[in-house]
């Protein structure tokens, strides 16, 4: 059976920087062949081939990016990530932050790019606003519309601005974890600037390259995440379209992310932004520093894989939790775990009943398993380890293995609960 994605798998090597257009791209790290992280095939579905993947560093504007570039339509028109399952609390915080920081009128025109199933739209609606979302994944958009949210099923672009009245003269545009996923990012930045009113603002959240390097969290690096931003590199990009950075703060999503506020007016930078710029400059994030950090990541995963082998030798029954895109990437570097697990458990209805990308490892619902059968849980969704552990019954009878940001084994006693 062929793959169900209506768009063929197409990709091409990068020949110029997506952020500035220069040809000053140099390979920082070659990961070899890896799966498409968001690929979770059905039982009879033909699995996609693994693809080469390298981190590239632009010496002109410092933007870090992935080569080859995989076609956006293939990656995002049929998507298996649901924001509301793991990110609902974050979007409640974002909506509250926006409401208290900006004091917008209830009539403010608000758009979210890459809204997924609409948890941010829902939070903003509860606060009295009437936001619009846009997202290319038809299966996910159907969920948002079923919830009564206003969502356009399309890619955001300069072309779609002309097609939809709701994409013009906007007071605020949000992009939460979608601005790293777009191939022609300069064109999208231009579309953002064109869509905003003269006093409009662009609020964007992206994973921090600084924090990624600090935590060695390179399971976040995959083809869908096309760009890895610093304050310097995203500022360079947005200045090209006349948007100025006025504020930045750190948030804890995805192992550490930035929340940026851009505007058309040149506004004095916030004290938080100035401090973060200074800290970033001190790190001197060049290509060599990134290469060394990836090496530490691979070494840590080797230790995690050896831990699994030790537990197998001890006769322990082992299961993994978290069938995410990151898990697909982790399993690339965990051959013993990849080939030795019975299945991976998850809570997303878009993944349950499917298989991991590389080896047809089945994905089962957390609610369907007997937790008493297992001695060890490998938490592949390590950035949600606390919430996963909290959900697990009888924690004193189970051992949790967490691969990152440092490999650790967590055991509980009656006294520690």
Greatest distance between any 2 Cα atoms in the chain: 65
DSSP per-residue codes, 110-153: EEEET-TT-HHHHHHHHTT---EEEES-HHHHHHHHHTT--EEE
Q: What does the pLDDT read at residue 218?
A: 94
**What does the alpha-carbon distance between residue 11 and residue 39 come to, in Å, rounded to a whole number?**
15
Q: What does the pLDDT read at residue 51?
A: 94
CATH code 3.40.30.10 for 289-416: no
Domains of the chain, residue spans: 83-286, 289-416
Q: Same fold for the domain at 83-286 and the one at 289-416?
A: yes
Q: What does the pLDDT read at residue 296?
A: 93
pLDDT 10s per residue in the chain (417 long)? 445 556 788 999 999 999 999 999 999 999 999 999 888 888 767 778 899 999 999 999 999 999 999 988 888 777 667 787 778 899 999 999 999 999 999 999 999 999 999 999 999 999 999 999 999 888 899 999 999 999 999 999 999 999 998 899 999 999 998 898 888 999 999 999 999 999 999 999 999 999 999 888 899 999 999 999 999 999 999 999 999 999 999 998 877 899 999 999 877 888 889 999 999 999 989 999 999 999 999 999 999 999 999 999 999 999 999 998 899 999 988 989 988 999 999 998 889 999 998 767 999 999 999 999 999 999 999 988 999 999 999 888 899 999 998 899 999 876 666
Tokens of 129: 């606003």
**What does the alpha-carbon distance between residue 91 and residue 89 come to, in Å, rounded to a whole number?**
6
Q: Which of 147, 116, 80, 146 is nearest to 352 (CA)?
A: 80
What single DSSP character describes residue 68? Answer: S
Tokens of 353: 């009943």
Domain spanning 83-286: which superfamily?
Vaccinia Virus protein VP39 (3.40.50.150)
């Amino acid at each position: 059976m062929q793959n169900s994605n209506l768009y063929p798998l197409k990709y091409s090597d990068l020949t110029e920087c997506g952020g500035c257009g220069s040809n000053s791209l140099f390979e920082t790290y070659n990961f070899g062949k890896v799966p498409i992280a968001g690929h979770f095939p059905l039982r009879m579905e033909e699995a996609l081939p693994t693809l080469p993947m390298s981190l590239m560093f632009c010496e002109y504007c410092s933007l870090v990016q992935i080569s080859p570039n995989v076609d956006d339509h293939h990656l995002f028109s049929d998507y298996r990530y649901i924001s509301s399952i793991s990110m609902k609390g974050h979007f409640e915080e974002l909506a509250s932050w926006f409401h208290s920081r900006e004091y917008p009128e209830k009539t403010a025109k608000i758009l979210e790019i890459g809204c997924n199933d609409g948890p941010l739209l829902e939070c903003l609606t509860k606060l009295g606003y009437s936001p619009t979302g846009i997202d290319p994944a038809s299966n996910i958009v159907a969920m948002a519309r079923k919830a009564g949210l206003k969502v356009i099923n399309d890619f955001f672009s300069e072309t779609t601005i002309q097609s939809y009245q709701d994409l013009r003269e906007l007071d605020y545009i949000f992009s939460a974890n979608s601005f790293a996923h777009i191939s022609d990012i300069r064109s999208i930045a231009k579309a953002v600037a064109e869509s905003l009113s003269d006093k409009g603002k662009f609020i964007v959240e992206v994973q921090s390259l600084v924090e990624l390097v600090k935590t060695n969290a390179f399971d976040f690096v995959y083809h869908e995440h096309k760009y890895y931003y610093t304050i310097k590199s995203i500022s360079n990009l947005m200045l090209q379209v006349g948007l100025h950075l006025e504020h930045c703060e750190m948030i804890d999503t995805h192992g550490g992310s930035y929340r940026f506020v851009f505007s058309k007016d040149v506004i004095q930078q916030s004290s938080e932004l100035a401090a973060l710029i200074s800290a970033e400059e001190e790190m001197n994030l060049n290509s060599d520093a990134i290469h060394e950090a990836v090496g530490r990541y691979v070494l840590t995963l080797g230790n995690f894989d050896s831990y699994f082998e030790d537990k197998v030798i001890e006769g322990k029954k082992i299961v993994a939790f978290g069938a995410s895109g990151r898990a697909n990437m982790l399993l690339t570097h965990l051959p013993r775990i990849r080939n030795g697990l019975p299945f991976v458990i998850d809570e997303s209805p878009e993944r349950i009943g499917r298989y991991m990308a590389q080896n047809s490892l089945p994905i089962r619902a957390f609610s369907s398993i007997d937790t008493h059968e297992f001695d060890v849980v490998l938490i592949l969704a390590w950035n949600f380890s606390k919430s996963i552990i909290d959900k697990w019954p009888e924690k004193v009878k189970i051992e949790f293995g967490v691969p990152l940001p440092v490999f650790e084994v967590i055991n509980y006693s009656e006294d520690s609960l």
